[in-house]
Structures are given as structure tokens and as C-alpha cells.
Amino acid sequence: MKLDVILRVTTKFMLPFIVLFALYVHFHGDYGPGGGFQAGVISAAAFILYALVFGIEATQRVVPQRLLEVLMPLGVLIYAAAGLPAMVLGKTFLDYSVLAHDVKHAHEWGIFIVESGVLITVASTMLAIFYAFVERGR
Amino acid sequence: MSVLAAAATAPSFAFVIGDHLPILQVIVPLLGAVLCALTRRGSFAFAIAALVSWSLLGVAIMLLWQVLGAAAPITYYIGGWAPPWGIEYRVDALNAFILVLVAGVGAITIPFAYRTVGKEIDEDKQSWFYALFLLCLSGLMGMAVTGDAFNIFVFMEVSSLSAYALIAMGSDRRALLAAYQYLIMGTIGATFYVIGIGLLYVVTGTLNLADLATRIGPAFGTAPQPILAALAFIVVGISLKLALFPLHLWLPNAYAFAPTFVTTFLAATATKVAVYILLRLYFTVFGGAISLSDLPIAEVLLMLSIAAMFIASILAVYEDSVERMLAYSSVAQIGCITLGMAIATRAGLTGSIVHLLNHAVMKATLFMAIGAVVYRVGTSCMSELAGIGRKMPLTMGLFVVAGLSIIGVPGTAGFISKWQLGIGAVDAGLWPLVFVLVGSSLIAVIYIGKVVEVAYFREPGDNLADARDPPASMLIPMALLGAATIYFGLDTTWSAQIADTAAQILIGGLK
């Protein structure tokens, strides 16, 4: 464990940037390539990198399995919940124009909320799949 | 923006449930699935699943009521985007009928899940089980309600992926292999479907079913090959999903090794929704645009249907496991359904559509009855079940009622379907098919008769010492569907008449 000092230090340096890049891809999703799915994969990659270098126990202290099992459905719930205000206010499901006074802002908000749900579900599912593979045979 | 202007443009609270019925068919079970996944207790998840299934049936019946009263199909634009750009949900008598069928099976069978899931699934997996069940329900309802070809694919994947996982949760280790087989076959089917849709999109530039129906015709004049290829891919892909002979190989194992409740639910719904998709695409989308009688599809379908009705029935006769026997019987009954589709007259299609309902009702009863036997005895092998009819009289009584319906005895639902199919065949000048229908019923007499002989005419063995009828939560759903088998055989107001309306819609759109 002493020979991998470079790996450990660089990983710690890179982690915040990976997560920051994930958020950039997420926030940029309504203008260009990107969005919740890609951002979710990138942020899950940050945790998987951490797990590869520091071990699975350390990662599971940060993100326990139980937390993942809450996050996976939570993302779907956020997505579906973003569509409900429109139904209550007399529009059809997932019509974002009710979310703010200006239609463009409302759509931006709607897409952002929906993509946040996608990010949470994708990131937690990726990590859960990784855990499932790593823990196989233990 | 001033406060006054904002107040003027702010939408008022105007939630009317009647305006949102199409989307509620999907999001009620979807939200229920999420809530189930968030609970960590099996009994809470069961309560959510039961409440969701029952309210879903209410919503589906309201929609059917609305559709039957309306002159035009009911439409719903997701997110307010108008078709053909946005996703449109479009409901006429045919989908509304399928929606009530799927929701009804879910609502009636869900009490059956409580005991069997409690016995077959580990406590820590039960909430996931109910979440997957509701997800599967949501996918099936979505396939039926949507009017968008790609949306159908998405919901097909939602329902199939959850079905694979549900089947893999069976207590026998062979369930994993069965689920894997189904996964491979189902994925090939879905891929073929999406290739077909892709070809149509390249040629017509649209994914909306109603829009496709109007655009395929002109496009067929300039580029017929891609459209014929699309038709071939879609028919083969969906035939895999609905287990048309000889593409049925995934079905017997999947039904035999899945948890009892999953077998009951999937046998009654999954293949039925796939048949609906085939009817919708074949008749409404392609039938409205090109002359189907120039193509040999009906002949091929007819041959495969007849093969299914005989070969699958004969395979059922030689099965020792009652669950596998019923699974092969399902393949044969699907042959009956596609037979009506191949005849393609109003009476024939009515027979097909009403058989979707009748077969769902009777097969769910049969699978629940044998599921109750497995719950008490632990096996469905006929060699172990000698004399079971004396130990579990109500369960096996209902098995016999539904079995008679499979055979097509007058006074049961099965008779109505076969009668309609027979009329359809005679109308179309294909009277030999009547003998085919009777012939396959006679083979059904053999395989149902084998179970009756074992159950009633032999002395109970020592292994059945503790066997008795299951608790009320399992018996009541069985009795309800058993009663429905008789009811739909006597009063056809809610089955054959709605099916006739639906058949008229399909035939009316034909070129």
C-alpha cells in the first residue's frame, strides 16, 4: 500500500473536479450535449474511482448500500413529481409552463428538475451495480 | 411583470380527474412502484400495491366509461405538446378494453400475492418485489394507452425488464435460467420491433401511430421495400413477445419457475397486451395504408395459429408438471387469438378480442388454483397430486370450472370465444377452421381430464396429509375469477359487445 502514493494523492485531487464536471454537464444539459444521464454516470465514476483506489469498505462508509436503495427510487419520484403541479393546475402531465411566470424560465426549471431526478437515479444505480459486482463471491 | 398581470396569467386550480384519465393509467402504478421501493417492509409494500391496483382499476373503468360515451377517441397530450411532435395518448374502445383487462387482473389477483409472496420471497426482497410488480403493471398499461410507436417500445422495455426480474425471483434456481432465456428472446423481440419502427421513421418522419397510418400510404408508393421490411420486423418482433408458435420457447419455463403470483399475473396480461400491440399496428397503422390482402401475412399467421393450437396442446398432454401444462395450453390459446386475427373479419376479430379477456380470466383462475396447490403441497407434479381434489375441494372445483372453460363447454367464457371464432371462420368461407377449433378443444379435454382424473379418481397419498384449501386471501380472488368465467359465458354485454365495437374500429380502418 506504500507504492501507490501517487495514485492516492492524484485521485484525491481529481475527485472534486470530476464531480464539478458532472455538475457542469448537468447544468449545461439544456443548452448542449449533456444532461442528467451523462452527469449521473460521471459522478458515479468519481465514486467508483475512489473505490478502486481506497477500497470498497471506505466507499461504503461514504455511500452505504441503504442510501443507494433510497436514492434510486427518489430520482424517479422527483421526475414524476415534476409533472404533477401541471395536473393540479389544469394543464397536462409534465407541462412545465406552470412552474414559473415566464414560459421559458418555467421550461428551464422543469428540465432542470427532471434531469436532477435522472442524475440521482443513474448515479445511484451505477454505483449499486458496481457494488453488486464487487461484492459477488464475498 | 407586475403583480396584477401575474395574477391574471396564473393558472387557476382546475384539477378534474376526468381530464387526466389516460395519464393516470401510467403514473398511478409508477408512483406506487417508487413508494414500494422506498418502504423497507414487505407488508407496507403489499398495502401500497393493493391500494394502487384497486384504484387503478377504478381509473381504468372510468376511462372505459368515458370512451364508450364519446364519439371520437380520447386524446391526451403529454406536457402539452401537440402530436405528431409530442407524445399523444389515444384511447378508443379497444385500448380501453385492454386497460380494464390488465388493471382488473391486477386488482383481483393482488390479494393472492400476500400469502404466496410471503412464502416464496425473502422478507428483505418483498418491497422490491411489489415495486417490480407495479412497474410491470405500469409498463403494460402504458403500452396499451399510448398512441406513439416509440413510447410503446419504452413501456415494452419497462414491463419486460421488470418481468425478467420478477421471474428470476422464483424460489427454484432454474428460475434464473428461465428468466435469462426470456431476457434473450424478449430482447430480440423488442429489438426487431424498434428496427421496424426505425425503418418507418426513416421513410415517414413520424412516430405517432395516427400520423403513421396516414403517411405510410403515400410513402409506400415511392419506397415499398423499407415499409414491407418494417412490417416484417414488427410482426416477428411482437410475435416473440406474444409467444406465437414457434417463437414460444421462452414461455413454458418462465411460467413454470416464476413465483406463483407472477405466473398468474403475466399469463393473464403480458401476452394479451402484446396481442393488442400487434392488432393495433397491423390493422390500424399498416391496414389503413396498404392493402394487407396482397401480402401473405394472414396465411402465415393462419398456419402458425393452427400449428400452435395442435402442437402446443399435444405438448401440454405429455407434461407432468401442471404449471408447464397450463403454459403450453396458453401457447395453444394464443393460437386461437391469432387465428381470429388471420381470419380478419369483424366476427373473427371479435372472437380474438373477447378471447383476450376470457382467456385472461380462466388462465388466471387455473394458475391461481395450481398456485394454491403448490402453496400447500409444494409441487405441481401430477404424480404427487393423486386425490388432491378431495383434500382441496374448493380449489380444485374452481380449477375444473376454469378447465371446462379452456375446453369451451357451453355456459363458460371459453365457449363464447370459440363460438365467435367459429362464426368468423364460416363468414370468411373458411369453414374447415371450425373443425380445427373443435379438434384443439378435444385435446384440451385430454389434458384437463388428466388433472381431473388424478385429482378426483385416486386415493390421496401420505404426502397430502396436511393439504387443505388455502386461506381466504387466496381463495377469494380465485372464486371471483372463477365466477367471472361463468358470468362471461352467460352475459356478454361487457365482453363480446365491447369487443365487437373494438373489432369494428379495427376493420373500419382497413384499406
* C-alpha distance from residue B427 to each of B148, B340, B437 (Å): 34, 12, 15
DSSP string, B177-192: HHHHHHHHHHHHHHHH
Pairwise CB contact (< 8 Å): A90 & B15: yes
Give A79 to chain B, closest Cα distance, Å.
10
pLDDT value, residue B357: 93
Interface of A to B at Cβ within 8 Å reads 69-70, 72-74, 76-77, 80, 83, 86-98, 101-102
Give the burial string for A102-115 (b: 16+ CB within 10 Å, else e). Answer: eeeebbbbbbbbbb
Residues ≥6 apart with Cβ < 8 Å to A115? A26, A29, A30, A35, A36, A39
Q: Report the residue of A87, A97, A125 to disrupt the B interface, i.e. the one with the largest count of B CBs within 10 Å.
A: A87
| Among candidate residues B73, B77, B76, B108, the one with its CA nearest the CA of residue B92 | B73
For residue A42, give Cα distances in angstroms to A35, B16, B44, B50. Answer: 11, 42, 35, 38
The minimal CB distance from A101 to the residues B6, B30, B37 is found for B6
For chain A, what are the domain ranges?
Answer: 5-134
Q: Are B390 and B397 in contact (CB under 8 A)?
A: no
Cell of B62: 372510468
Residue of chain B nearest A87, judged by CA positions: B15
Cβ separation of B11 and A101 shorter than 8 Å?
no
Indicate the average pLDDT of chain B: 90
Nearest CA to CA, how far is B196 from chain A (Å)? 26
Length in residues, chain A? 138
The answer to whether residue B2 scores a pLDDT higher than 50 is no
What's the pLDDT band for B14 if we cut at 50, 70, 90? Answer: low
- Rounded to a whole number of angstroms, the distance from the CA of A77 to the nearest CA of chain B is 6
Query: Best residue in B27, B87, B90, B145 to probe A by mutation, most A CBs within 10 Å?
Result: B27
Closest Cα in chain A to B6: A101
pLDDT > 60? residue B186: yes
- Which grid coordinates belong to B260? 406463483
How far are the Cα atoms of B9, B161, B194, B244, B281 from residue B232, in angstroms, in the given order? Answer: 51, 24, 12, 14, 12
Residue B271 in grid coordinates: 401476452
Q: What is the DSSP string of B69-126?
A: H-SS-EEEEGGGPPTTTS-EEEE-HHHHHHHHHHHHHHHHHHHHHHHHHHHHS-GGGH
Question: Could you tell me which residues are beta bridge partners of residue B381?
Answer: B321
How far B151 CA sits from the closest chain A CA (Å)? 15
Question: pLDDT over 90 for what percent of chain B?
Answer: 70
List C-alpha distances in Å: A75 to A70, B35, B279. 9, 12, 35
The sign one gets for the Cα dihedral B499, B500, B504, B507 is: positive
The per-residue pLDDT for range B353-392, each reduced to its tens digit, is: 999 999 999 999 999 999 999 998 888 888 888 888 888 9
A100-114, B128-142, B274-288, B303-317: range with lowest mean pLDDT:
A100-114
Shortest CA gap B234–chain A (Å): 29
Confidence of residue B7 (pLDDT cuts 50, 70, 90): very low
- Per-residue pLDDT tens digits for A21-38: 999 999 887 777 888 899
Task: Identify the pLDDT of residue B8.
Answer: 43
CB B63 within 8 A of CB B91: yes
Interface touch B37/A97, C-beta < 8 Å: no
Tell which residue, B165, B169, B164, has the closest CA to residue B182: B164
Nearest CA in chain B to A81: B31
Q: In chain A, which residue's Cα lies nearest the Cα of B81? A: A95
pLDDT > 60? residue B440: yes
b/e B18-31 (16+ beta carbons within 10 angstroms → b): ebbbbbbbbbbbbb
Q: Tell me what ipTM this predicted complex has.
A: 0.90
